Amino acid sequence: MLELKNIDLTRDGSAALFVKDEVVEVAFAGNDGELISREGPNRFQAGDALVTGSTGDRWSVSRSRFDAKYAPVAPVKPGGDGRYRSRPVPVLAKQMADAFTLARSSGGDLLQGHAQDWVLQYAPGDFGVVGDARFQKVYRPLA
């Protein structure tokens, strides 16, 4: 299995910008914990967002990053449990030909991707992995 380390998609000509368009269900964690996603463990702290996507996939988003990525859908108030829509924040993405592993961040959870899954780079050193079927459903190329 390919182990991805020290990657930077801004320097990869095969990566492109995409935006996510999805309404998700969110519950804010009452205490620290871990959920297991398709790609691997997602450790979270109290107050972090526990997200369930439209495809049933689950993941966590730190509270400090959540508001920049998601907007509440009325009647939900910011910070309250309920439905949120992804904001059109560009993300670099690259589809991988082979299975791989990748840390979410330096010292972060180790994620696993299958052949044809996508690596997403949200910021320098900040990564995610999305299965191809989910990626095709919720991501669109930035035109």
Per-residue pLDDT band at 6 (split at 50, 70, 90): confident
Q: How far apart are CA 26 and CA 61, in angstroms?
A: 10
Residue 85 has a pLDDT of 98
What is the reported pTM?
Answer: 0.88
Bridge partners, residue 34, by sequence: 43
Parallel/antiparallel/unpaired status of strands 118-123 and 91-95 = antiparallel
pLDDT the model gives residue 105: 82
User: Using 50, 70 and 90 to split pLDDT, how confident is the model at 55?
Assistant: very high
Instruction: Say whether 9 sits in a helix, a strand or coil.
Output: helix
- Helix ranges (H only) for the chain are 63-69, 132-138
User: What pLDDT, on the 0 to 100 scale, is given for residue 59?
Assistant: 93
Q: What is the pLDDT of residues 66-114, one digit of tens each?
A: 999 999 999 999 999 999 999 999 999 999 999 999 988 877 789 999 9
Each domain of the chain, given as residue ranges in start order, spans 1-20+88-143, 22-87
